[in-house]
Amino acid sequence: MTRQDAAQRTVTTPDGRHLAVETSGSPDGPAVFLLHGTPGSRSGPRPRGIVVYRLGVHLVCYDRPGYGDSDRHEGRRVADAAADVAAIADALGIERFAVVGRSGGGPHALACAALLPDRVTRAAVLVGLAPAGAPDLDWYAGMAESNVEDYGQADEDLAELTLNLKVRAEEARRDPMTLLEFLRPQLPEADIRVVDDVAIRRLLTDMYAEALRHGPEGWIDDVLAIRRGWGFDLGAIQAEVRLWHGEQDRFSPVEHSHWLASRISRAEVQVQPGAAHFGAVEILPQTLSWLARPDLATSPRL
């Protein structure tokens, strides 16, 4: 997995913000938007350009506001991702497309499916989260201590959250390995196996470095958006949705996917034994194949 052969550009939204975008793969193939995790950036782990090309996929990645080279959108909600994705699709001449969100990108992918029903062909969520306050779900059950702390501070102490993420972001700017070292004591063996792969570890640290090089604002805004009202109705999603989860995930517990499936009419859940949170990196090529399967209409150009 690499950023090789990715084409980069900047898209201006209707309200004047700038979004950093990368595309790779087959320009004439079905378009798939990959929405990165938290923290993350457009440079997040993905198959090599030649692999994406052979899959026949036109892959589009972008920095959510406040990450990398994308302007901040302070106070943004999860729902706001739909307008940003639509603006990018318009700029690239793409009418219809699929979406996949990894971890913190999962809710944002679901926002696109709910709010752009005439444009989103399919959606996938890899190790995603349910909304805060979801009924009949113990939101924090089984969750790693670091996530419990961050999301809890989003509810109760914004100043403390801001300070903590500023410190971690500054450490990551000096040495992005510090983020993986911070997480390592909380990782199950399934995740340690993935992050100990030299190539994947390099891609993860490159992603963190790019995401946070201008500061922690995107990270702060993601945590706040995930814990506050998402701004859309899951029941409005008409597209097929695949919810993939590693059974041993300690950062986004698997029960979140089961809860989402109970609220989305055309959702299927795939729980993989022996996998955890970072297993989402390994399952991505298979997910892209499903999203771009030939029984979907080819993404027409505007």
- Segment 15-53, tens digit of pLDDT: 999 999 999 999 999 999 999 999 999 998 998 889 999
| C-beta neighbour count of 170 within 10 angstroms | 13
The pLDDT of residue 296 is: 46
Q: Quick one: tokens of 118?
A: 């005439």
| C-alpha–C-alpha distance, residues 185 and 182, integer Å | 7
The pLDDT of residue 87 is: 98
Domain annotation covers residue 300 = no
Task: Sort residue 191 into left (φ over 0), alpha (ψ -120 to 50) or beta.
Answer: alpha
The pLDDT of residue 108 is: 98
Q: Quick one: tokens of 297?
A: 């209409």
pTM score, whole prediction:
0.94
Range of the domain at 234: 7-291
Identify the CA nearest to 292 among candidates 84, 54, 12: 54
Domain annotation covers residue 139 = yes
Cis peptide leading into residue 65 (ω within 30°): no
- Digit-coded pLDDT (tens) for 255-291: 999 999 999 999 999 999 999 999 999 999 999 999 9
Domain annotation covers residue 216 = yes
- Digit-coded pLDDT (tens) for 124-145: 999 999 999 999 999 999 999 9
| C-alpha–C-alpha distance, residues 119 and 83, integer Å | 12
- Digit-coded pLDDT (tens) for 215-226: 999 999 999 999
The count of domains in the chain is 1
Tell me the average pLDDT of the chain. 94
Q: Strand, coil or helix: what is 121?
A: strand
122 pLDDT more than 60: yes
State CA 232 to chain mean position distance. Answer: 17
Sole residue written with tokens 């609220």: 263
The pLDDT of residue 49 is: 86
HSE value, Cβ hemisphere, 13 Å, CA-based, for 271: 12
298 pLDDT more than 50: no
106 pLDDT more than 60: yes
Question: 269: domain CATH number?
Answer: 3.40.50.1820
Q: Quick one: tokens of 69?
A: 């080279």
| C-alpha–C-alpha distance, residues 174 and 213, integer Å | 9
HSE value, Cβ hemisphere, 13 Å, CA-based, for 222: 28
Domain annotation covers residue 49 = yes
Domain annotation covers residue 207 = yes
- Span 92-100, average pLDDT: 98
Identify whether the C-beta of residue 230 lies closer than 8 Å to the C-beta of residue 135.
no
CA distances from 254 to 70, 77, 142 (A): 31, 23, 9
Domain annotation covers residue 230 = yes
Domain annotation covers residue 298 = no
Q: Which residues contact 133 (CB under 8 A, 6 or more apart)?
A: 139
Q: Quick one: tokens of 115?
A: 């709010």
The pLDDT of residue 48 is: 86
240-246 vs 97-102, strand pairing mode = unpaired
Domain annotation covers residue 235 = yes
Going by pLDDT thresholds of 50, 70 and 90, the confidence category of residue 295 is low
Q: Quick one: tokens of 202?
A: 């390099």
CA distances from 98 to 11, 111, 222, 298 (A): 19, 12, 22, 11
- Digit-coded pLDDT (tens) for 166-210: 999 999 999 999 999 999 999 999 999 999 999 999 999 999 999
